[in-house]
């Protein structure tokens, strides 16, 4: 059975980090948060939710930060979320990963809600590669 780790990089996300961590807690074996210089309660809130929190100064390099966070776990599977995202449905698919060899990259459906016309809200769905086997890394665009 393969373990799953939630892996996040954060900075000043006190307004939303608890919702994200609470939505993932039941579906992962560990939650790892790399704080890149928060000046608010982000790190304390994450720790209070059961996440293991590490700290690193922001290097102005998103790929570096993401890879540093991924290196904080030995889990065969890594679920990557941003603090302002949360799991709303389909979490059963995460549970099914435990029986899968970590040999592919999985995508999650992310729905962004944006201001629409006449004050309404529009949804913009997209599929993003956020379920990674150990050994995957981000590359900085050239």
Q: List, for residues 101-141, the tens digit of each pLDDT value.
A: 999 999 888 887 777 777 777 878 888 899 999 999 988 77
Mean pLDDT across 77-93: 90
Residue 88 Cα distances to 29, 65, 70, 91, 92, angstroms:
18, 26, 23, 8, 11
**Percent composition of the chain: helix, strand, coil (DSSP 3-state, to 5):** 25, 30, 45
Mean pLDDT across 56-79: 96
pLDDT confidence tier of residue 60, bands split at 50, 70 and 90: very high
Q: What is the pLDDT of residue 124?
A: 82
| Domains of the chain and CATH, by start | 4-133 (3.90.550.10)
Query: Is the pLDDT higher at 35 or at 121?
Result: 35
Q: How far apart are CA 4 and CA 42, in angstroms?
A: 22
């Amino acid at each position: 059975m393969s373990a799953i780790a939630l892996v996040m990089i954060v900075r000043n996300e006190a307004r939303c980090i608890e919702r994200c961590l609470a939505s993932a807690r039941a579906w992962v074996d560990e939650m790892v948060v790399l704080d890149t210089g928060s000046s608010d309660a982000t790190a304390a809130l994450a720790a209070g939710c059961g996440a293991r929190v590490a700290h690193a100064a922001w290097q102005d390099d998103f790929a570096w930060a993401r890879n540093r966070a991924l290196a904080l776990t030995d889990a065969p599977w890594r679920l990557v979320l941003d603090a302002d995202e949360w799991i709303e449905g389909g979490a059963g698919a995460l549970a099914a990963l435990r029986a899968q060899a970590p040999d592919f990259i999985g995508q999650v459906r992310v729905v962004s809600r944006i201001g629409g016309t006449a004050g309404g809200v529009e949804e913009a769905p997209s599929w993003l590669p956020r379920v990674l086997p150990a050994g995957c890394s981000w590359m900085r665009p050239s």
